Amino acid sequence: MTRARIAIDAMGGDYAPDEIVAGALRAREELDVEVLLVGDPEKINRYLQEHAPSTTPEIIPATDVVEMNEVPLVALKRKPNASINVAMELVKAGQADAVVSAGHSGAAMAAALLRLGRLPGIDRPAIGAVLPTLMAGKSVLVLDVGANVDCRPKYLEQFAIMGSIYSKYVLDVPDPKVGLLNIGEEDCKGNDIAVGANQLLRKNKQISFLGNAEGRDVMSGQFDVIVCDGFVGNILLKFAESLGSVLVQILREELPRGWRGRIGTAFLRPNLRKIKQRMDHAEHGGGLLLGVDGICIISHGSSQAPSIFNAIRLAQEAVDHQVSQRIQACYQQAVALEDQN
Amino acid sequence: MTRARIAIDAMGGDYAPDEIVAGALRAREELDVEVLLVGDPEKINRYLQEHAPSTTPEIIPATDVVEMNEVPLVALKRKPNASINVAMELVKAGQADAVVSAGHSGAAMAAALLRLGRLPGIDRPAIGAVLPTLMAGKSVLVLDVGANVDCRPKYLEQFAIMGSIYSKYVLDVPDPKVGLLNIGEEDCKGNDIAVGANQLLRKNKQISFLGNAEGRDVMSGQFDVIVCDGFVGNILLKFAESLGSVLVQILREELPRGWRGRIGTAFLRPNLRKIKQRMDHAEHGGGLLLGVDGICIISHGSSQAPSIFNAIRLAQEAVDHQVSQRIQACYQQAVALEDQN
């Protein structure tokens, strides 16, 4: 296996380029990856001279940036030399295996669709996010968390297939249990899309569909993959991401009460740090855009170096486990099966 | 002010009638309310004889029950003597001021619509739920959390008006700040319904609309009222309700690690109990069905006595603060304003 080459959108994100470059340099040192820094060479070099004068990562010049307030398609067309465009081109040309961007997520998605295209059989790519569960060491993949605000039942079915493949090969779950996010356990519950998706998922032989998952089931550990439209998924994800602070705030208010509380809390400082870390979204690195012909990790705009490092690790795992190729193979198999019938 | 008379659906819920009656008896003792136990006299009396032989609450006979697997409208028609039907009739006849039920929530909603009817100006009643926030002592009202899986923009506008009135008069928020649950802050973000609702809310002079609320803003304390369709709201609510156990589980795993952790945790037992309580849904009692001509509290099927007690307190507050009358008055005012223009 050759080393994964990851194109980093060094200009995207609230803390670009400094924090992005810092995360990339750490990944270059600690992971078995090559990083290509895509962005304004002057700005990147200024950071390197100051913080890492002896390192010489590869820099791919791209002077434009898609700003957060721009309309993705318009901006991508008007700025062919935007860092996200250039990064995607590297993947398309086979010079990189994956893209990591903390810039405008709509622009990243649009650039991936335009430059890399969809995988055959996939109508809509989806963003998958990994959340912790009640069961220690077990996580759950939720998709879509923001790529598609309006969905049809068959898109949700495609999300289930892509999610199962990701869960199996990257998250090492032998037989991923799939759930459909809904307002009740019974198959007949929910809005029209949920009811229709339930029927498709029940019939699909390529996945292990357990049934509907309610809000309370998301973090129960019962499900490995949970599918939903990008509107609900995005709200749920952002809600879940705020829990780290909610938790720490509640602990800060409740723990130090009374003399017992004050003494107890004094002993717990390292454990509390650990708890925050476990809930923190920086640990997850970002979402994987599934369904495009290439690997693309979409990180938070607020990402700093640790988050970018984790995003690069995520990209590396997706590349090493050939996620895109496996999704494609799965669809070819499905088509072959249909032809037989 | 006369004492609020609350009709309790004694047959509804996983732990009916015992836990329902237990909660009602406690409310009768500790709150300034009258309770009417609606249900099978034999079963209710059996509980009373065993656990509270000296108390004599009023019992309204109703021998049928709507089971969880029944289709609401069919069951309500087939069982005119079902406890939820009888309880609603008491409110309609002016013999009770409110209903509390932990039974089939769809049936409770349908019975409220059929027997009490909608308030003028309201297309769809909504269920409101109160969640804790990061700011100590501050809560947020989220609606709809399950009554309407498909919504139109104008329904969400009505939810905002009803929520503001509830927040102001029952939760004592002088000028409730309203948010629209959405996937981005910008007004143009979201699906068609969210975009349409944003426009209506921006124009509405009867409420203080702050703008879109993302998932991470729900528990921030920035918003007093958050409106959404019942599909998203139900998923979010059930997710939020599972956090108590998630939190306790994480604390149980992380706190006792290492010798510092073990010592610290030993001191903290009372504080940890407090934390669980703060997150626990039993503390909230249930959701208020807003928009019907009467007060109706819909509790969890899994409600036990403490939860029923809190639901009765919620009903009492809604009665005492004349929530229904105020919503009606607000709509009359809106109509008058429109006539002037």
Under the banding of pLDDT at 50, 70 and 90, the label for residue B48 is very high
Query: Residue B154 — φ and ψ, nearest 5°?
Result: -70, -25
What are the counts of helices (DSSP H) followed by strands (DSSP E) for chain A? 12, 11
B23 within some domain: yes
Catalogue the E-assigned strands of chain B: 4-9, 33-39, 58-61, 98-101, 126-132, 139-143, 177-181, 208-213, 225-227, 287-290, 295-298
Is there a cis peptide before residue B17, judged by omega within 30 degrees of 0? yes
Q: How many interchain CB pairs under 8 A, A with B?
A: 169
The domain total for chain B is 1
Q: Which of B181, B255, B277 to mutate to test the interface with A (most CBs of A within 10 A)?
A: B255
CA-based nearest residue in chain B for residue A261: B268
Residue B118 C-alpha, separation from nearest chain A C-alpha, in angstroms: 22
Work out the average pLDDT over B274-280: 68
Q: DSSP character for A292?
A: B
* Among B232, B250, B268, beta carbon nearest to A255: B268
**Comparing A244 with A120, which gets the higher pLDDT?**
A120
A256 within some domain: no
Under the banding of pLDDT at 50, 70 and 90, the label for residue B81 is very high
Q: Answer yes or no: are the C-beta atoms of A24 and A31 closer than 8 Å.
A: no
Q: Answer yes or no: are the C-beta atoms of A302 and A14 closer than 8 Å.
A: yes
Count CB-CB contacts under 10 A for residue B145: 27
Q: Do A47 and A86 share a domain, yes or no?
A: yes
Q: DSSP character for A62?
A: -
Distance CA B42, CA B151 (A): 43
Q: Do A42 and A113 share a domain, yes or no?
A: yes
Q: Do A116 and A138 share a domain, yes or no?
A: no
Q: Which of A251, A268, A300, A302 to mutate to test the interface with B (most CBs of B within 10 A)?
A: A268
> Most confidently modeled of A70-74, A193-197, A301-305, B260-264?
A193-197
Q: Do A5 and A117 share a domain, yes or no?
A: yes
Q: Which of A67, A70, A140, A149 to mutate to test the interface with B (most CBs of B within 10 A)?
A: A149
A64 within some domain: yes
Residues of A with CB below 8 A from B182's CB?
Answer: 235
The CATH number of the domain holding residue B294 is 3.40.718.10
A117 within some domain: yes
In the chain, the amino acid numbered B25 is L
Q: Do A92 and A146 share a domain, yes or no?
A: no
Q: Do A54 and A144 share a domain, yes or no?
A: no
In the chain, the amino acid numbered A152 is R
Residue B79 has pLDDT above 60, yes or no: yes
Residue B278 has pLDDT above 70, yes or no: no
B133 within some domain: no
pLDDT of B315: 94
Reference B177, options B236, B148, B147, B135; nearest CA is B135
For B169, residues 6+ apart whose C-beta sits below 8 A from its C-beta are: B321, B322, B323, B326
Residue A278 has pLDDT above 70, yes or no: no
Q: Do A135 and A169 share a domain, yes or no?
A: yes
The CA-atom distances, in angstroms, between B232 and each of A182, A188, A190, A228, B314 are 9, 17, 10, 11, 24
A158 within some domain: yes
Residue B318 gets the label, from left (phi > 0), alpha (psi -120 to 50) or beta, of: alpha
Q: Do A149 and A189 share a domain, yes or no?
A: yes
Q: Do A117 and A137 share a domain, yes or no?
A: no
Residues of B with CB below 8 A from A215's CB?
Answer: 234-242
pLDDT tens profile B17-33: 999 999 999 999 999 99
First to last CA, chain B: 38
CB contact under 8 Å between A241 and B194, yes or no, is no
pLDDT tens profile A107-162: 999 999 999 999 988 999 999 999 888 887 889 999 999 889 889 999 999 999 99
User: A289 has which bridge partners?
Assistant: A127
Structure tokens at A19: 């924090």
Residue B1 C-alpha, separation from nearest chain A C-alpha, in angstroms: 38
- Owning domain of residue B102: 1-122+284-322+329-341
Of A191, A218, A233, the residue that ends a domain is A233
